[in-house]
């Protein structure tokens, strides 16, 4: 019996108070493709970072070909031949493909980079990946994202890979590019390289992988041979015995829809998205990261421009070109990335709440009415149970959940006709999550039409009156309340057509 290429035993990792990985075991055999699957937040990325040397584990042991392995940096991992291709290509746009492949480990002859020697090796790698030889001298910035991804793989292979980690390699590739990728992966495994494959597209696993390790809530729950699994089975393992709880079914009006998206499209992100939201209704848009859900929310708020389809508000077509247009129409957005898009970090809570409403909170629209600003801020702090000693506290000093409530409060000062939330509870703790959901429901009860774009499955199921699945940038299926996690996840992961086992 051959030694395992890579063996992880009882790995755990904490970030502050959050346990990203509770317990992980993993054994990767030489010359195999080993998939790691799990929901968003199950701990896959952290595990990958530990293997790549970018993070160090708190507990546990690792072994490489039978000998103990200690990694303190990515350089250590590279020394073992552990190469990682991240989702975002780590390339230099102005350098040529050839230079990118060899950056940091150039072949040098007589004080100069040995271009001819590098070129020979680059041509071999390009041929292996099915890229034309002339690409060697092209600047990477002139290539498409998919081609850049292939360059990243070439870069990893140039370093004599023994373990190749592919983190969501197919997320940005077209079907024919995926075929090329699979061809490369097969050739690599034939020559003895072990590939660790992360993907949300579960149907792919059955075409390329040999073994599957499933992660759930920071634990590896087991490893199976692919032949013993079906997509359905994988989804059930990923979701596991998680509580299939549903909130009290809310009665919703059958009024005319307030917000309608008709075959809405934004080139490169999503197309043919059709959704309608009635007053008082909460409609969920669930999709895996990269499926285009966040971008849909941004188009409705005027941050991105639609390239096709229509948005109707109260039956009339609208075309918000700027967030200000959307605000005037009574549309509010809770952005996905609150640090970059929602917070004025060093400013107090009161400023963060009042900043979008200065005409309303000023005297004769000229100078600020500080007393009203304070009153509004205090009212919001109380209504949303924001935990803070005073409204003068800077928002940067607050926890994720409380900061998110402040950003939400800003959208609620003037009660919006339509509230769009993108990833409303990303990075907030369970208690705050519960409260934010309560606030969203209370708003809907007052008649606001709510659209929630999320990649958190349990949130999508819990909050939505109706739930649309977004897959590859299109709304595919609609679920009524009471849908099971397994059904929804299977639909989002691309197992629509499969007959349930």
Nearest distance from C-beta of residue 74 to another protein, angstroms: 6
Options 93, 345, 442, 445; binder of another protein; rule CB under 8 A:
93
Would you tell me how many other CB atoms lie within 10 Å of the CB of residue 196?
Answer: 26
User: Is 381 buried (19+), middle (13-18) or exposed (0-12) by CB count in 10 A?
Assistant: buried
Nearest distance from C-beta of residue 333 to another protein, angstroms: 23
Q: State both tokens at 384.
A: 């949303």
Q: Which range in 19-27, 95-103, 226-234, 380-388 contacts another protein by CB under 8 A?
A: 95-103
Is there binding between residue 105 and another protein (CB under 8 A)?
Answer: yes
Nearest distance from C-beta of residue 119 to another protein, angstroms: 4
Q: Which DSSP state fits 348? A: B
Is there binding between residue 276 and another protein (CB under 8 A)?
Answer: no
Q: State both tokens at 152.
A: 């990243």
Q: Which range in 38-46, 121-129, 274-282, 380-388 contacts another protein by CB under 8 A?
A: 121-129
Helix (H, G, I), strand (E, B) or coil at 257: coil
Is there binding between residue 179 and another protein (CB under 8 A)?
Answer: no
CB neighbours of 450 closer than 8 A, spacing ≥ 6? 277, 281, 282, 283, 418, 419, 420, 421, 440, 443, 444
Q: Which of 382, 386, 430 is nearest to 407 (CA)?
A: 386
Helix (H, G, I), strand (E, B) or coil at 75: helix
Is there binding between residue 106 and another protein (CB under 8 A)?
Answer: yes
Nearer residue to another protein within complex by CB, 112 or 371: 112
Whole-number Å distance between alpha carbons of 450 and 490: 25
Q: State both tokens at 24.
A: 């992980």
Options 7, 39, 99, 423; binder of another protein; rule CB under 8 A:
99
Using alpha carbons only, what angle is made at residue 218 by residues 212 and 224, rounded to the nearest 5 degrees? 15
Nearer residue to another protein within complex by CB, 145 or 368: 145
Nearer residue to another protein within complex by CB, 90 or 174: 90
Is there binding between residue 139 and another protein (CB under 8 A)?
Answer: yes
Options 2, 59, 141, 358; binder of another protein; rule CB under 8 A:
141
Nearest distance from C-beta of residue 70 to another protein, angstroms: 19
Q: Which of 77, 91, 451 is nearest to 297 (CA)?
A: 451
Q: Which range in 122-130, 164-172, 316-324, 381-389 contacts another protein by CB under 8 A?
A: 122-130
Residue with tokens 């607050």: 398
Nearest distance from C-beta of residue 78 to another protein, angstroms: 8
Is there binding between residue 368 and another protein (CB under 8 A)?
Answer: no
CB hemisphere CA count around 262 (13 angstroms): 12
Q: Which range in 17-25, 128-136, 343-351, 442-450 contacts another protein by CB under 8 A?
A: 128-136
H/E run at residue 224: strand 219-225
> Where on the chain is the footprint of another protein (CB under 8 A)?
74-75, 90-96, 98-99, 103-106, 108, 111-113, 115-116, 119-120, 123-124, 127, 130, 132-133, 136-137, 139, 141-145
């Amino acid at each position: 019996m051959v030694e395992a290429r890579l063996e992880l035993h009882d790995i755990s990792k904490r970030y502050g108070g959050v346990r990203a990985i509770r317990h992980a075991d993993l054994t990767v055999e030489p010359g195999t493709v080993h998939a790691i699957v799990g929901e968003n937040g199950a701990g896959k990325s952290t595990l990958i970072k530990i293997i790549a040397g970018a993070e160090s584990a708190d507990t546990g042991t690792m072994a490489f070909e039978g000998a103990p392995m200690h990694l303190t940096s990515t350089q250590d991992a590279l020394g073992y031949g552990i190469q990682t291709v991240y989702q975002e290509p780590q390339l230099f746009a102005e350098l040529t493909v050839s230079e990118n492949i060899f950056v940091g480990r150039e072949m040098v002859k007589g004080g100069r980079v040995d271009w001819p020697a590098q070129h020979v090796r680059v041509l071999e790698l390009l041929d292996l990946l099915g890229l034309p030889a002339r690409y060697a001298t092209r600047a990477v910035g002139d290539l498409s994202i998919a081609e850049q991804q292939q360059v990243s793989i070439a870069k990893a292979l140039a370093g004599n890979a023994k373990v190749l980690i592919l983190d969501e390699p197919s997320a940005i590739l077209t079907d024919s590019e995926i075929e090329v990728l699979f061809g490369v992966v097969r050739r690599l495994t034939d020559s003895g390289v072990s590939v660790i494959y992360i993907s949300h597209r579960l149907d792919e696993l059955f075409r390329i992988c040999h073994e599957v390790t499933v992660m759930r809530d920071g634990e590896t729950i087991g490893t199976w041979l692919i032949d013993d699994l079906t997509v359905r089975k994988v989804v059930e393992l990923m979701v596991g015995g998680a509580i299939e709880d549903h909130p009290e079914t809310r009665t919703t009006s059958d009024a005319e829809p307030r917000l309608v998206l008709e075959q809405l499209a934004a080139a490169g992100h999503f197309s043919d998205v059709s959704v309608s939201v009635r007053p008082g209704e909460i409609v969920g848009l669930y999709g895996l990261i990269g499926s285009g859900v966040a971008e849909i929310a941004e188009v409705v708020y005027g941050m991105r421009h639609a390239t096709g389809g229509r948005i109707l508000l109260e039956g009339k077509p609208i075309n918000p070109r700027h967030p200000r247009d959307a605000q005037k129409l009574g549309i509010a957005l809770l952005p996905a990335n609150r640090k970059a898009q929602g917070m004025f970090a060093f400013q107090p809570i009161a400023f963060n709440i009042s900043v979008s409403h200065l005409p309303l909170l000023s005297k004769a629209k000229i100078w600020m009415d500080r007393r009203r600003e304070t009153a509004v801020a205090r009212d919001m702090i109380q209504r949303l149970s924001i935990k803070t000693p005073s409204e003068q506290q800077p928002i940067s000093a607050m926890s994720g959940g409380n900061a998110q409530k402040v950003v939400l409060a800003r959208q609620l000062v003037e009660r919006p006709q339509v509230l769009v939330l993108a990833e409303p509870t990303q990075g907030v703790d369970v208690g705050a999550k519960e409260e934010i959901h309560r606030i969203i429901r209370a708003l809907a009860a007052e008649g606001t039409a709510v659209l929630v774009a999320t990649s958190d499955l349990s949130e999508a199921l819990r909050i939505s009156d109706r739930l649309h699945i977004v897959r590859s940038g299109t709304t595919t299926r609609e679920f009524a309340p009471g849908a099971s996690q397994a059904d929804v996840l299977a639909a989002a992961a691309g197992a629509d057509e499969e007959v349930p086992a």
